[in-house]
Structure 1
Amino acid sequence: MESPIAASSAKSSFDPMSNTGISSPVSLASSASTDFIAFKEYSFRPPSWHLLNKDTNPAYDVDHYILQSSNQNRPENLESFWQEFGFVFSVSMSQILTEYLVSGFTVILPSMVRQSVVTEASSIWPAAVFPLAIASTTLIFGRLADIYGGRSIYLYGFVWLAVWSAITGFSNNEVMMTISRIMQGIGASAILPSGLMLMGATYRPGPRKNMAFCIFGACGPFGFFLGIFVAGIAGFTTQWRYYFWVAGALSACTTIVAFYSLPNIELPRRQHDVWYSSPRRHVLDEGKAIQMDWAGGLLLGISISLILFSLIGSSQAPQGWKTPYIYACFTVGLVLMLVAICVEKYIATCPLIPHSFVAKAQIPALLTSLFLFYGCLGIFLLHASQYMEQSMGANPLQVVAWYTPMIVGGCIISIFGGYVLHLVSGTLLLVIAGFSWTIAPLLFAIAPQDATYWKYVFPSMVCATFGIDVTFNVCNIHITTNTSKNQQGFAGAIIAFLLHCGGTTCLALADIVKRESQHILGYRKSCQAVFWLEVGFAITATLILIAFVRVGEAKNDSRVK
């Protein structure tokens, strides 16, 4: 049988891609076997390829129809509806449990302080080390997932999280609690990038992938809601240990479901690091096999840990930034960060952060915006809870009820987004989300002493859920789609890193603002000063998006190979 490429060449003497060094667009015959061969040819086009329109390619309609149909069907490595259901459920549980362990811990802290498990003066550290551990190690686990496969890293990570969640429930002193929380963070750091890697590598771009990622994004607010709900009940009954044992049980159940539903994805172990893209050339420099960059990983991890430690500790240290160990850790962290950047750029043969990724147009601006947006998320989730409880007089269960619009809104956006993300410009959605990010804290910042739920809190929650879910879904789909298939672990790692490093950093800055302003403005006004800081972050991120970032529709297209 004559191949589709040969058939296309015979039909036309003019090849619009003849100077690129790549085969011309596929012209398909009507038979099913020819369609299959053509689809296989199509699937190996390079990442800079875009479907030509029907004016330049006579076979556009047929080619586009086959690709569109394939992207709306279940992936081949998910054999049944129930396996796909279990797969999406398992990956989404990584998001749910991570947010669960972040949000609920602040609710049960007072009970732990009353039972002398931790002291009030140092209670910030068991709460802070969990996201700090994620931010410091997630890039390492992303690379391990690219080397050994996301399935094994995901399963081991969930087993680790289940074990240490159970151990944390038996903690009876501050040291054991802090160490256990660090170990929980390491488990979450393993499951987040590997889960996103599995989802990004399994689904081709299109409506089905959009829906899967929207469900994953909606699980963030749901996990936060679940955390404060379970913690509220546990704290109300003084049985705070059940909060961690519930996390351990959920992790164990997820491990079982994941074992039977996660597909085995074979990834080429080549760097695929540099694409030379020009009108005349699309050449792949395969380089060496993917290796672990231990030097860069350790330097980045230690430097991030020291910087975040100093930022968090400065609000609790006796003399603030004048405390010797605070500025010493901050200085050493900055120096190690510079050394890590030099190692990644000039020395590492297989850098932890691929050069091709950061060299892409608009990526640095997009990452900066995401860092600030996720920082806004961290500030909002924590300080909105504190403001509602301590300034508006809401009890813990009432706070849970007031967060309900975020859950309902997340479910609606996840369903709605799966059907429209391939039709609406991603840039437009991100700009609208940026305004939502701005309005959500602004309502708390201007709320009077006698503020009511329906006038201030409810619209703030609606805006918050739109900003969170739209940003998370659009950017996750964009980053995973525009990262090569054998670097999906890195794509998941950079998303998790931005989420938790951005949140931890901005929370630390918010604590500094609150501490410095509280003795002047009082408690309520100092909380509102924190919300004004969040407004500033949101406006800055939105302006960066408007000026430098362009994201198209999440439509059917060939994936980066």
Structure 2
Amino acid sequence: MAIDIQTTTAGPVPAAPEDTRLTGRAKLVLFVLCAAQFMVALDFSVLNVALPALGKDLGFGNSALQWAVTAFALPSGGFLLLFGRIADLYGRRKLFLTGLGLFGAASVLATLAWDPASFLTGRALQGLGAAVIVPTGMSLLTTTFPEGPLRDRALGISGTLLSLGFTIGMVLGGVMTDTLGWRSTMGLLSVAAVVVLVLAPGLLPESRTPQRPRLDVPGAVTVTGGLLSLIYSLSTAAQRGFGDVDVWGTLVVGLALLAAFAVVESRSPAPLVSLPMLRRRTVAWGNLGGLVTFSMMSTVVFVLTLYLQETLGLSSFRTGLVFGVQGVLSIVAGTYAPKVIGRFGARRALIGSLLGQGAFTAALLSVGTGSGAVLATVFVSVASMFHLGAIISYGVVVTSGVPDEEQGLATGLVTTTQQVGITIGIPLLGVLATTGASLFDGVRTVLAIDAAIVVVAALLLAVALGRTKADRQPAG
């Protein structure tokens, strides 16, 4: 069923001559949308180094502390597709503002938490708010900025801040925990949510549908339940191992529900996820590229953290500074990635970025344990630049050629891929680093497998995508 999008409140961003520059209002719109994405990315990492202090203060046992992370990851990944589709049908701006309000209130609860239950409730509600903010913010971005150079540039800036948010969170979390206490990390998110919520209503356009088809409830139940089960299984596997009955049970349930979802969607008159959408080469293979780059790069960050602290003896703060260099490199990559996409096309940029990420991940195998190891690690962490290039280009590949009325679904798939990728990398590969004869040998094994997976994925995408519409060239 075709859906007419009617833009109200503030109209679409006017394009500058030749669609190559952002107008003043476009910059403000982009700032608000990127600030929201940055805030969510920050939430994924800012708490990590604060976990020991948090556990001691609230009475978490060591075995239960992982739920501080899992409680956020479950709803933030499990509900993305559902809220992306609801936004398509009932208004992206309205849902975006609702998500911001929920995220801000949940952050206040987490800041003031008095016991584990209240803190985990706040974290779960934060994750639910993030599941609303991420797909609605991305769909507002892709529908506000027309396909072409403007959208490429907007996605480039958004991808840069997304990557930067993860990196800054690691550094900022350590500094704030040492100086102000762990509660300040949650308080920072409360303030950020309020700032964005104040600015957003007057800047963002609303999209409404004159017809509101019924929501595919069976599809929503099966896909949400499947994703929740899958993410729970893979998250807990990192702590309990894949031999745990609970891990295997929820993994089987998750896969069964996702299989049921595919059957439901093939028979639904108004499916939550259009199967023709999933059959698009750009959507299916583009998301595979995103899944690989997120899962494999999160694994690299995890094992490098172990290597820097356990093998080289760096403090948490100095380890954060090493990853801060990656943040600076991410800014550089975010500046040039849209230009590379414009020159060579998103498909080639995606494949080239994956090959670069794989090559520099393999280069980390040469890093030893001597005095120059930290400097060498910083140098070869240039892999993060290619990682960011893949993030930006895969988003362009997936959303290229998708009608505006399906952009919420397309960006929901993009962001679901991100969340699942971040979740599965460490359980699947990261555990190998701690189960070998030595940590250093385990890290090298993980890096070798990681690099091989990325390169193989790049070669598969080169064959499967062929030449697509995402390979557009600049005019002239």
The two structures have a TM-score, normalised by structure 1, of: 0.76
Paired position in structure 2 for 1:197: 139
- Write the distance in 2 (CA, Å) between the matches of 1:149 and 1:530: 44
Question: Which of 1 and 2 has greater Rg?
Answer: 1
Q: Could you say if the C-alpha distance between residues 316 and 362 of structure 1 is closer, same or farther in structure 2, counting changes exceeding 3 Å? A: same
Following superposition, the deviation at residue 116 of structure 1 comes to 4.8
Partner of 1:390: 310
Q: Secondary structure at the match of 2:370?
A: coil
User: Aligned equivalents of 1:536 and 1:261: distance in 2?
Assistant: 45
Q: Structure 2 vs 1, CA of residues 335 and 394 (structure 1 numbering), >3 Å: closer, same or farther? A: same
1:502 aligns with 2:418: no
SS of alignment partner, residue 545 of structure 1: helix
> Does residue 525 of structure 1 match 2:436?
no
| 1:437 and 2:357 matched | yes
CA distance in structure 2 between the partners assigned to 1:322 and 1:180 by the alignment? 31
Matched letter for residue 420 of structure 2: C
- Structure 2 residue aligned with 1:467: 386
The alpha-carbon distance between structure 1 residues 428 and 321, as it changes in their structure 2 partners (threshold 3 A), is closer
Per-residue deviation, 1:125: 2.1
CA contact (8 A) 2:302 2:430 kept: no
Kindly indicate whether the alpha-carbon contact (under 8 Å) linking 2:171 and 2:324 is maintained by their aligned counterparts in 1. Answer: no
2:3 is the counterpart of 1:84: no
Distance apart, 1:175 and its partner CA? 2.8
User: What is the rounded CA distance, in whole Å, between the counterparts of 1:443 and 1:361 in structure 2?
Assistant: 31
Secondary structure of the structure 2 residue equivalent to 1:421: helix
The CA deviation string for residues 73-100 of structure 1, in whole angstroms up to 9 with x for no partner, is: 66xxxxx61x322210111123211221
Amino acid at match of 1:528: R
Residue 316 of structure 1 deviates from its aligned partner by 2.8
Provide, for residues 334-361 of structure 1, a one-character-per-residue CA deviation record: whole Å limited to 9, x for no partner: 2222211111122x22112112211223
Kept after mapping to 1: 8 A contact 2:308/2:314: yes
The percent of aligned pairs where both chains have the same amino acid is 17
Whether 1:167 and 2:114 are equivalent positions in the alignment is: no
2:64 and 2:254 map into 1 onto residues whose CA distance is 22
SS of 1:352's equivalent in the other structure is coil
Decide whether aligned partners of structure 1 residues 528 and 128 sit closer, same or farther in structure 2, where only a CA change above 3 A counts. Answer: farther
Deviation at 1:135, TM superposition (A): 1.6
How far, CA to CA, are the matches of 1:420 and 1:539 in structure 2?
20
- Residues 72/447 of structure 1: CA separation in 2 closer, same or farther (3 Å cut): closer
Q: Which residue of 2 aligns with 1:540?
A: 456
| 1:396 CA displacement | 2.7
SS in 2 for 1:316: helix
Which one of the candidate residues 253, 257, 260 is aligned to 1:339? Answer: 260
Aligned to 1:130: 72
Rounded Cα–Cα distance in structure 2 between residues aligned with 1:547 and 1:68: 37
Offset of residue 167 of structure 1: 0.9
Question: What is the rounded CA distance, in whole Å, between the counterparts of 2:327 and 2:242 in structure 1?
Answer: 39
> Does the CA contact (< 8 Å) of 1:431 and 1:545 recur in 2?
yes
Q: Of 244, 258, 261, which aligns to 1:323? A: 244
Aligned to 2:10: none
Aligned to 2:346: 426
**CA 1:124–1:441 in 2, change beyond 3 Å: closer, same or farther?**
farther
Q: 1:442 to 1:236 in 2, by over 3 A?
A: farther
Give the Cα separation in 2 of the matches to 1:541 and 1:407. 25
Distance 1:383 1:96, change over 3 A: farther
Partner of 1:46: none
Identify unmatched segments of 5+ residues in structure 1.
1-66, 75-79, 270-288
SS at match of 1:151: helix
Structure 2 match to 1:71: 19
Q: How far apart, in 1, do the equivalents of 2:103 and 2:294 lie?
A: 23
Partner of 2:233 in structure 1? 310
Match of residue 221 from structure 1: 163
Report the structure, 1 or 2, having the larger helix content. 2
Which structure 2 residues correspond to residues 103-118 of structure 1 after superposition, within 5 A? 103-118=45-60
Preserved CA contact (<8 Å) 1:439 1:460: no
CA offset digits 1:140-193 (Å, max 9, x no partner): 010011011211111111111111111111223333332222211111111111
How far residue 311 of structure 1 moved from its aligned partner, in angstroms, is 2.6
**Alignment-derived partner of residue 285 in structure 2:** 365
Tell me the SS of whatever aligns to 1:423: helix
Is the 1:373–1:541 contact (alpha carbons within 8 Å) kept by the matching residues of 2? no
TM-aligned CA distance change 1:207 to 1:168, over 3 Å? same
User: What is the aligned partner in structure 1 of residue 174 from structure 2?
Assistant: 232
- Residues 353-400 of structure 1: per-residue CA shift (max 9 Å, x gap): 112211223532332222122111322233323332332222233223
Q: Corresponding residue for 1:257?
A: 199
Q: Which residue of 1 aligns with 2:5?
A: none
C-alpha spacing 1:314/1:396, structure 2 compared with 1 (3 Å): closer
Contact 2:287 2:394 in 1 (8 A): no
Maintained 8 Å contact 1:268/1:486: no
Contact 1:104–1:231 (CA under 8 A) maintained in structure 2: yes
Q: Deviations over 1:398-437 (max 9, x none)?
A: 2232223322222223332344422223233222211222
SS of match in other structure, 1:482: coil
* Matched residues, number: 459
C-alpha distance in 1 between matches for 2:474 and 2:83 = 30
